[in-house]
């Protein structure tokens, strides 16, 4: 049955108009991925207002293709310039740049792109088969279950996150606070507006994203004083084919990275964590781990596959539950609401054309992405040679235009500047930005679910444990929340046992 | 952090990280308290029709305030020699941030396109040391492209000033 839907989706996606948008999206995405200071979530946020008048299906095809392009593009700078264009391609520099130094840039790029493609494909296949089931299952959800899933999302940020847990909680709570500013959707009462007229509208997440990810990224980049000294890349068909011939040898690495990526994408671990984990696992299981860091093909393949698998499967909870698994997915979810679609499990029932068109476009977009990126590497490497003194003001102008066009309000441009500085400080102090953005996007929906759930129980929080379904999700959330404590406990018990064992 | 980075670190004044951590924690605490007070005023308890408007945000404020205290404690405990930013790093950041504020202020008077052209040109001239004609050309061209994309192609209205009015927009 699903295959019929998928074929219908292909019929939607395969129009000339949509194919053209796909190509534009991928090219824009690669540019965005190549340029430091213009990340995936930011670019999608800037372009979102331009799609307000488009068909939702075409709009999301354009924006999701920017996302795929950004995932591909990040690898180019990592390998040729040793500069990760995106956070998820940091792990790619470990082996990609040494390969380029040896003059094997072509091989490194081919394996990076192919790995990305395979990772994305496994993510899309997972979405194709799992998302409808999850959505169907979620149709049974009531407010307690939905809040439990939101709770799970945020708990896994706290439990799985690195660094100070307080900072994760603070970023999240701040995001919820920002989301609450303005008119309360249920009672119509004004909250935290402090008599300032501009606050009535509340803080739009797009403005927050453009500031937090765009402006702040420019500031961080400026500080490092970028000097682009790149390796030359010659990518001809021969190199591509020769590299492809080698790849089947690494099937286990590909499989492992895909699995890790898919898992971390669905739970909001995200592409960044996935790329490092993929790299770590490949090194751990390699027969000769010493080669890693000095130019191992697997060292490029593993993180790229995992990052792309995570980036893709982050869209699964967004489509099936209305809960995004990454910052970019959060922006896309915000787009759904702007286009007048109600995210959540009903989307599969009410808007099958949209959902399956998007899924089909994921297949096509990634195939097109692979072809485009393989054939245009020299062009994009040239873009990186454009000095930052030209690129930076253009990006800032693009951010200002993006922030203004959300509501046509000058106040939003000022707000963008404020969030740019906030993002700069937060980045330097290792506050996580993703949970904050997620909280801004999901704030109202999470709050509504919470209020409806406790309304039914007259304020008794045990309502989240009153049904087996919500009880198991809530318990899982708590388990994830306290996961660091649990593992610490296990670690404390284990050495005692090991001390006895080897006698 | 490489060896050369350490060298400049010694020669350039720096802002210690723990101070910034503490300042941000204090700011977050203040925001948390404001959230608590503001929502308590509009009612954060239980009414006849269920939870009041302030119910959820107030609890988020509590969460923010508590975690900011945790961050503050961590800041006090962290090694005092960690650097938040060095002056030689902060200088280019300020060199861009301050003109950026000027740029946003200028938009209100000249409109988006003129301000953008001026900003791009000035940025290239001052930060990139480009010749004046190259800077001005890039600024004007980029604004022209933006005007074509937004006003003509996508009809997304941007703030416009006297110059655009001259052309009848």
Q: Does B100 touch chain A (CB under 8 A)?
A: yes
Mean pLDDT of the A296-322 span = 84
- Are the beta carbons of B67 and A455 separated by less than 8 Å? no
CB contacts, 8 Å: A421 with chain B: 97
pLDDT score, position A290:
75
pLDDT exceeds 90 at position B64: yes
- Using CB atoms, which residue from B56, B89, B104 is nearest to A451? B56
Mean pLDDT of the A72-101 span = 76
Write the pLDDT tens digit of every residue in A430-471: 888 878 888 888 888 888 888 888 887 777 777 788 888 888
pLDDT score, position B2:
46
- Are the beta carbons of A450 and B97 separated by less than 8 Å? no
pLDDT score, position A322:
81
pLDDT score, position A235:
65
Helix (H) or strand (E) holding B83: strand B83-86
pLDDT exceeds 50 at position B118: yes
Q: Does B92 touch chain A (CB under 8 A)?
A: yes
CB contacts, 8 Å: A49 with chain B: 156
pLDDT exceeds 70 at position A85: no
pLDDT exceeds 80 at position B164: no
pLDDT exceeds 50 at position A501: no
**Which of these, A380, A329, A330, lies nearest to A72 by C-alpha position?**
A380
Both tokens of A49, joined, read 């207002």
pLDDT exceeds 90 at position B68: yes
Task: List helix spans (H) across A82-183.
Answer: 90-101, 105-138, 143-160, 165-180
Give the integer Cα–Cα distance in Å for A8 and A348: 13
pLDDT band for A130, please (50, 70, 90 cuts): confident
Q: Which residue has the higher pLDDT, A1 or A438?
A: A438
Task: Name residue, tokens 């007070």.
Answer: B37
- Are the beta carbons of B64 and A170 separated by less than 8 Å? yes
Write the pLDDT tens digit of every residue in A149-160: 888 878 877 877
pLDDT band for A35, please (50, 70, 90 cuts): confident
pLDDT band for A329, please (50, 70, 90 cuts): confident
Q: Identify the DSSP state of A482.
A: T
Query: 115-144 in B: which are within 8 Å (CB) of A?
Result: 116, 119-120, 123-124, 127-130, 138, 142
Distance from CA of B166 to the nearest CA of A (A): 22
CA–CA distance from A163 to each of A93, A326, A488, B60, B100 (Å)?
Answer: 23, 18, 15, 21, 32
pTM: 0.81
- Are the beta carbons of B124 and A393 separated by less than 8 Å? yes
Q: Which residue has the higher pLDDT, B147 or A246?
A: B147
Give the integer Cα–Cα distance in Å for B80 and A108: 42
- Using CB atoms, which residue from B55, B96, B154 is nearest to A219? B96
A347 and A354 Cβ atoms separated by less than 8 Å:
yes
């Amino acid at each position: 049955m699903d295959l019929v839907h998928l074929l219908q989706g292909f019929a939607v996606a395969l129009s000339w108009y949509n194919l053209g948008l796909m190509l534009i999206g991928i090219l824009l995405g690669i540019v965005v991925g190549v340029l430091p200071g213009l990340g995936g979530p930011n670019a999608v946020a800037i372009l979102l207002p331009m799609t307000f008048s488009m068909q939702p299906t075409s709009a999301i095809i354009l924006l999701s293709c920017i996302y795929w392009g950004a995932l591909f593009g990040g690898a180019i700078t990592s390998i040729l310039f040793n500069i990760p264009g995106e956070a998820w391609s940091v792990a790619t520099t470990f082996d990609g740049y040494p390969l380029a130094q040896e003059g094997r840039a072509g091989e490194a790029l081919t394996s990076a792109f192919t790995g990305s493609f395979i990772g994305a494909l496994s993510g899309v296949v997972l979405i194709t088969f799992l998302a409808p089931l999850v959505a169907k299952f979620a149709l049974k959800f009531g407010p307690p279950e939905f809040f439990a899933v939101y709770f799970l999302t945020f708990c896994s940020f706290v439990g799985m996150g690195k660094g100070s847990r307080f900072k994760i909680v603070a970023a999240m709570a701040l995001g919820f606070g920002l989301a609450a500013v303005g008119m309360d959707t249920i009672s119509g009462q004004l909250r935290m507006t402090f008599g300032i007229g501009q606050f009535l509208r509340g803080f739009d997440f797009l403005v927050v994203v453009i500031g937090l990810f765009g402006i702040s990224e420019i500031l961080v980049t400026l500080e490092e004083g970028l000097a682009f000294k790149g390796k030359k890349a010659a990518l001809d068909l021969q190199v591509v084919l020769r590299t492809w011939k080698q790849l089947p040898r690494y099937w286990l690495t590909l499989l492992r990275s895909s699995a890790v990526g898919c898992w971390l994408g669905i739970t909001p671990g995200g592409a960044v964590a996935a790329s490092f984990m993929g790299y770590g696992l490949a090194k751990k299981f390699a027969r000769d781990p010493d080669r890693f860091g000095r130019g191992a093909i697997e060292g490029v393949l593993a993180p790229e596959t995992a990052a792309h698998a995570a980036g893709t499967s982050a869209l699964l909870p967004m489509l099936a539950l209305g809960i995004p698994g990454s910052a970019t997915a959060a922006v896309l979810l915000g787009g759904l609401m702007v286009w007048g679609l109600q995210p959540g499990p009903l989307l599969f029932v009410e808007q099958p054309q949209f959902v399956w068109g998007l899924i089909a476009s994921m297949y096509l977009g990634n195939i097109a992405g692979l072809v485009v990126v393989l054939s245009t590497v020299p062009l994009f490497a040239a873009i990186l040679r454009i000095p930052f003194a030209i690129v930076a003001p253009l990006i800032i102008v693009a951010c200002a235009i993006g922030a203004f066009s959300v509501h046509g309000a000058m106040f939003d441009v000022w707000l963008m500047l404020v969030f740019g500085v906030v993002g700069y400080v937060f980045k330097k102090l290792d506050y996580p930005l993703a949970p904050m953005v997620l909280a801004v996007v999901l704030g109202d929906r999470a709050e509504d679910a919470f209020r409806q759930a406790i309304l039914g129980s007259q304020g008794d929080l045990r309502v989240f444990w009153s049904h087996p379904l919500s009880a198991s999700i809530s318990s899982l959330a708590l388990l994830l929340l306290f996961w660091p404590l649990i593992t610490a406990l296990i670690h404390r018990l284990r050495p005692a046992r090991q001390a006895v064992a080897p006698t | 952090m490489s060896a050369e980075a350490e060298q400049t670190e010694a020669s350039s004044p720096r802002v210690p990280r723990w101070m910034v951590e503490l300042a941000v924690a204090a700011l977050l605490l203040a925001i948390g308290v404001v959230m608590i007070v503001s929502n308590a005023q509009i009612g954060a308890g239980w009414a006849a029709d269920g939870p009041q408007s302030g119910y959820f945000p107030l609890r988020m404020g509590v969460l923010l305030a508590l975690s900011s205290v945790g961050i503050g404690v961590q800041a006090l405990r962290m090694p005092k020699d960690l650097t938040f930013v060095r002056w030689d790093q902060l200088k280019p950041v300020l060199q861009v941030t301050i003109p950026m504020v000027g740029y946003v202020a200028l938009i209100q008077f000249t409109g988006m396109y003129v301000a953008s052209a001026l900003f791009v040109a000035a940025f290239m001239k001052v930060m990139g040391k480009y010749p004046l004609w190259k800077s001005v050309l890039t600024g004007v061209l980029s604004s022209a492209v933006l005007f074509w994309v937004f006003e003509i192609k996508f009809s997304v209205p941007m703030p416009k000033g006297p110059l655009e009015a001259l052309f009848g927009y």
